[in-house]
Structures are given as structure tokens and as C-alpha cells.
Structure 1
Amino acid sequence: QAACSAKEALTDAESVEVAYGEWRGTLTREALNALIEPMVARSLKACRRAVRDTGIELEEVEAVVMVGGSTRVPRVREAVAELFGRQPLTEIDPDQVVAIGAAIQADTLAGNKRDGGELLLLDVIPLSLGLETMGGLMEKVIPRNTTIPVARGQEFTTYKDGQTAMKIHVLQGERELISDCRSLARFELRGIPPMVAGAAKIRVTFQVDADGLLSVSAREMGSGIESSIQVKPSYGLTDDEVTRMLKDSFEYAGDDKVARVLREHQVDAERLLEAVQGALDADGERLLDEEERLVINLQMDQLRELMQGTDGYAIEQQTKRLSQVTDAFAARRLDSTVKAALAGRNLNEIEE
């Protein structure tokens, strides 16, 4: 109580006498400013983050309303003015601002009209929504702080030749790896026409309605087959948990970026290894001599060994080397396929 009273008194005075038990002393405004500076810095950091999330610049903010009794402290108002380049609005009692805002929102949600024009009240998504991709990575479809209702879609494709089904894992969170995100739902799209890897086009659409209900649908564009699911992303998630997830995403952003790059290189390497192995099994004996096969197998073994480690750059470089070593083999396979397709056909048949 003594500290609170001293802080309030220093809003107007340069110094104040403080008594706590048998202790007596003088606290100056300068000393108070030094004590609260770390908290002021954290508050400004939150302001910068909020402005960045809206997609605008600090200079575009037209007015800043002070909320809460502590915003009466001169150092707080001074810091806000320095950040935004304008004096904050202080005409409204900061202790009443929250209550006034809540009352206005309740009045608007009740359908009442207000003089001076209508207010637009927008809810936002507190955490990003996305799905799992190869390598256990989180692919964000709807970023956090997107206003609702909203619908967003992205196209994905198959990973393996002849793949006829795709598992859809819906996630919530800001981290790069699915192990660090919240699992919301899983469903499966079946009946995808068998094609070579990467040929199928699967459109995954995320739609959040005004009540916060998330609908996720997956549609194979060629055949039209579709599957979907609905989920309430906010169910069972407290404000403290949302705050913790956001804090973790900022704290581990650097590590997450490194981990994502590593996983992406591992996925690319695995995809190439599967393609090369399939080509060797099908045409290796026919189109390559023994020495050429040995060279390719050696490069494949080296890549597999690197994939067990954590050097993403080394994996990337070895993937490129394997691709270069197999370029001639790929060209021979293409020539062989073309020759087989044209064998026994005349020019007129080809033109038709």
C-alpha cells in the first residue's frame, strides 16, 4: 500500500516521503522511473508487436488511448509519445476506459444503433491455423490475428507415385514443428486417382465462421472427391495457454527456423532418394554399366548418412551432387521411353 501510494503521489510530485513500518525515506520520480523502466520497455515491446500484427507502421497510428491507472505515470506517457511520435489521449479516465469499451461492445452486439455512425467490432484468430506437411512441419494457412469470418485455401500434392489417399492433420500454433503445436483434428481424403508423385492437386480450405467454428475441407481437383471436418479451435484453451504459446514462439524463433530448414532439406533428400532408387530398380541394369551404378549408389549412401545428422547445408549440397550424378541416367530413361512410345508407328500416326 505504501509503494502504491508513493507511485500515485509521484504522478504529480517530484519526490515523496515514504514510511513502511519503522523505515522512513524519500523516493524521487527519477528513482521511480529507473525502477519501472524494464516494465515500460516490455509494454512498448507489446505495442510494437500489436502494430506489426496489424500490418501497418507506427507512423500510421492516428491515436493512442491510455488504459489502466498506471498509464498516469509521467514516464509511461512520455515513452508512449516517443514510440508513436504523438501525445497519447489522456482526456478519458484510464480506470474507466476498459469498462466503457466493454459497454460499447455489448451495446453493439445487442444490435443497438449509436449516434454518430456504426462501430465495426472484429474478432480475430488468436493463434495460427494450419496443417502438417512432410517432415513434421507446420504449414500455416490462416495466420494469427486474422479477422473472422475468413476462408483461406492452399494447394498441396502427393508425395509418392500411385498415392490414393492423404491424411490431413489440422494444427494450431506459431511454432515450425508439429510437435510444438496443438493438434486439433485429423481426417483422411481417399480415392485420389493414382498418378506420379506431385501430379495430383489437392485444395485444402480453412474456413472460420463468426462463432469461431473451423471447417476444413480437402478436395482433389481432378476427380472432385472431397472430405471435411469441423472443430472449435478455442475449445479447452485458456488465455494463459495462448499467451504461453505466443511467448514460446518468440523465444524459440531462431531455433525453430534452423529446425525447419533442416527438415525441409531432409524431405528433399528423401524424395530424391526414393525417385533414384525406383529408377535403378526399373532401368538400372538396362541403361547403366556397373561403374555408373556404383557411383550413383555411393552418392546415395553418402546422402543417407548425412540425413542422420543435423547439418542441413551438407544435406542440401549432397542432394545437389546426387541430382547431378543422375542427370545422364534420367536423360537416358526419357529417351528410352520416347523410343518405346514411337516404335512401330509412322509419321501420320504420330501426327494424329
Structure 2
Amino acid sequence: MGKNDDRPGAPIVIVGGYGAVGRVAAHTLTSWYPKRVIVAGRDPARARETVRSGSAARAIRVDATDPGDVARMLDERPAVVVMCVERGNAALARACLERGVHYVDISATAAVLHEIAELDPLAARHAATALLSVGVAPGLSNVLARHCVEALPSARSVDIDLLLGMGDAHGDDSVRWVVANLAAGNASGRTGRTRVRLRGFGMRTVHPFPFSDQYTIHDKLGLPATTRMCFDSAAATSLLFALSSARFFALARRLRAERLITSLFSRLHFGSSRFVVQARAADAHGAAVSSTVTGVGTARATGVVTALAVRRLLTGEAAPGVRHLDELVPVGPFLDELRGHGMTVHHDTPPLENRFGPRTTTVADGPATRP
């Protein structure tokens, strides 16, 4: 158990708590822990507005890259610090863990999570937990992957498919992250793309994308994993990945136009706000298991998952060290809990006799279900 578990009134600090994800996490946690949530960030006006909306108790100014700001924040003696921006993450995690403060990070960047993962001995030494892979992908995708592998012990590979709604109000950091990876050339246009059936959207083309979950799944479950994504608009998906393959976004970066493109994408809203995250585990004999979560609003879902993770951390049940969401929560009950927050969970599994034998199983998609 973390050393903060005997301080039930200790603050919950959310860095970036006025962003698209942070606001939802702050609002949800405030409904459970009135007067404990502190919204922190570089913009005091936006932080104070979150407090006035009733989604937090207090606001403080914190630049996560400023050691002085971080020290003053930790002088508040928080039980947990939630990082909802991608800026100086590893340094902030280290500062928290050195003081025995739990740390939660919603980053989807593999390099960032790898840096924090190296702090495992530090976290264990100070009886604190750093929780990573919190959100939709990574996060729900990791939980779904573990659920599938547990249902199919003979699994030899895992595929994660993610559909994002173009009409969703994605946070600025999320849009910036997608554009940056399109520019970096990590997003494959034709190589590795495939066609999959996504619940409620039919057959769609999905493209490999460098979400951190695929690397974590490989490390933790010992299976090769690939994460692919698309948008609810098939035309927009084709255009964006074609432009990525043509190095359009890389050129925009060289011309220092990446910020302009990010701003444009942040303001474009067409299509739906629905999302789909699906995991599928398959073995060498053709048996497969898939699990899917559908909902409305990826930022909202990420905020809810973050709040649920913080609540579990505060129970004191987490082992000290660096953990990922699927290592913290009991998979089945956690997926059931999502239903109470506007998300729908679907499981497609082969008959029990086919899970361990060489017989081929066809997994039915079933009727489309709106969230």
C-alpha cells in the first residue's frame, strides 16, 4: 500500500485539469471526493473557471517543467497527482515518487511511458504507485487485450483497433499528438493497413499508429501486438494517411506549419463523437476472442477512466511500483463498471471447447449497438 492511504483527506491534484480530459476527471472525482480536487496548470484563469463550475475545490498555478512550481505543488501533500498534459512527465513523476505521492499519467507516447517505467525501483522504495496506460488507448485497450488473452490462453497475437469520431471535441494535446505522429512518419499509409469489422460502423480500413499500448501489451503479456486506427469518416481516414505517406505533414513540420495544422484540426468538427476500441486475440489454429468498448467522446471516456483509476489507487489496493491500468483493476468488474458511465461493452468468444483445441472458430460480429 502507498504511504498516503492513511490520509483520506489529502488533496488530489490534476495537472491540466481544465483541458478536455482533465475537466472530466476533475468533475467526476469531485462528485466522489468533495473539497479534495485541486486543478493545476499554467493558465490560472482557466483553472479558476473550472473551480467556479463546481468541478474542483481549488486552483493553483503550476508549470510542470518548473522545479520550483512542482515543489510548491507537492508541499500541498497530495495523495495523488494526475498528469493530463505531455510536458516534463518523467521529471514530475520522479518528484512525486520521491515524496511517496502516487502518480497517474494519461500519455499515449511510448517513449514517455518508458522513461517513467524506469522509475519502478524508486516508486517501490517510497511505497508509491505510478499508474500508466490510463484512458482509451492506451488504457481500455490494455484492459480489453488482457481480457481476451485470459479468455484464450492459446493466443499468439493481439490486435487493437481504434475508431475516433471526427465530430468529437478532442483536446489540443491529443490533436497535437496525432499530427506530430503523422508528421514523424510513424503512421503507415499502406504498409500494415488492414480491413476489420468495427461494431456499429461495418468494415473499415485501419492503419498502424504508434500508440503505446501495443508495446506495453508485448512487454507485459509476451505477445506481438499491433494498434491500428481510423476515423469515423472513411474519406478523412484515407486522405490523412495518404498525406502522411506523401510526407505532407513532415513538410509542414519543416516549414513550421505544424501548429497551424493542429489548430485547424482542433476546430474542424464533422461526423460523430462516437468511438470504438476493440481488442482481438487469436491463436495458431484460428480460434479468436474479441472484446469491444463503444461510447461517445474519447476525451470524456479518458477522463472517466482516469477518475476510476484514481479512486482505486486511493483504496490502497495498488502494489508499489510502476503499473499499467490492466495490472491495477480486476478486468471483468472494471469493464462492467464502465456501463454505468455511458459506455457499452461487448464480448465475442468462441465456445469453451474451442478455446484450447485446434478447431477453427468464426467470431460473429453480432448486431450493431449504439452507445
The question of a shared fold, defined as TM-score above 0.5 by the shorter chain, is answered with no
Q: TM-score range by the shorter chain?
A: under 0.3
Q: What is the TM-score normalised by the length of structure 1?
A: 0.22
Tell me which structure has the larger Cα radius of gyration: 1
Higher RCO (CA < 8 A, seq sep 6+)? 2
**Greater helix share, structure number:** 1
